[in-house]
Amino acid sequence: MATPQADERERVAMRRALELAARGLGTTSPNPVVGCVVLDAHGEQAGEGWHRRAGGPHAEVHALREAGDRACGGTAIVTLEPCNHTGRTGPCAQALLGAGISRVVYAVADPDPQAEGGAATLRAAGVETAQGLLAAEAEQVNAAWLTSVRRGRPHVTWKYAATLDGRTAAADGTSRWITSAEARADVHRLRAEADAILVGAGTARADDPHLAARLPAPAPDAPA
């Protein structure tokens, strides 16, 4: 079924939805990260949200709550196809229908056989749908979850630090770090986004590494 092309406002909204989705990295597993922006009938942003934690409301629900009555006749921009099943929360496809959304633009189809089919449900109810807007970017932000669902295996990030001559530490053991403070901060961000951290047995015996994610505390007025 052919679907109308997204306009520039929808493209801008999808970029924002991707930014929102990334906020859930590290807190939503085993669920995907998802962002949603709701545009009202005039194309103005009315609400936004992201999936914050497994078991909590999905991105669409947060965005619809913020949009309120302005969602009716509007467009939902979502990084992942709205789910179509009832788990710890209800199906997002039904939430969108209940809010009176008239068009749904999503980046990536849901490959989970338990949750797929939201777009078909929406179309059957008369809602216009379009798939594929900024799909590559949406695949990237959800790489870990998509790998797990599509391939049945973990998504692995390999972190390796070495000097230009191939050394990982001083021969006499005096070195503590060979990376910059910025690089170490990036490593802790990656740790916070991962479900598990694996090191070799030799590293564990020699270094007894502290593998927790040590990130700076958020500012008191930082958004949740």
Domain boundary among 105, 122, 151: 151
Taking only the tens place, the pLDDT of each residue in 4-53 is 556 999 999 999 999 999 999 999 999 999 999 999 999 999 999 999 99
Please tell me whether residues 93 and 145 are part of one structural domain.
Answer: yes
Q: How many structural domains compose the chain?
A: 2
Does residue 119 have a pLDDT over 70?
yes
Query: With 70 as the cut, is the pLDDT of residue 91 above it?
Result: yes
Q: In which band, very low, low, confident or very high, does the pLDDT at 218 lie, cut at 50, 70 and 90? A: low
pTM of the full structure: 0.85
Catalytic residues: 60
- Cα separation, 48 vs 157, in Å, equals 30
Q: And the tokens for 75?
A: 């467009």
Convert the pLDDT of each residue in 137-196 to its tens digit: 999 999 999 999 999 999 998 888 888 888 887 878 777 788 888 888 888 888 888 888
Q: Which residue has the tokens 């609400």?
A: 47
Q: Which domain holds residue 190?
A: 156-218
* 147, two tokens: 């790998």
> Residue 105 in contact with residue 75, Cβ under 8 Å?
yes
CA distances from 154 to 143, 151, 186 (A): 10, 8, 21
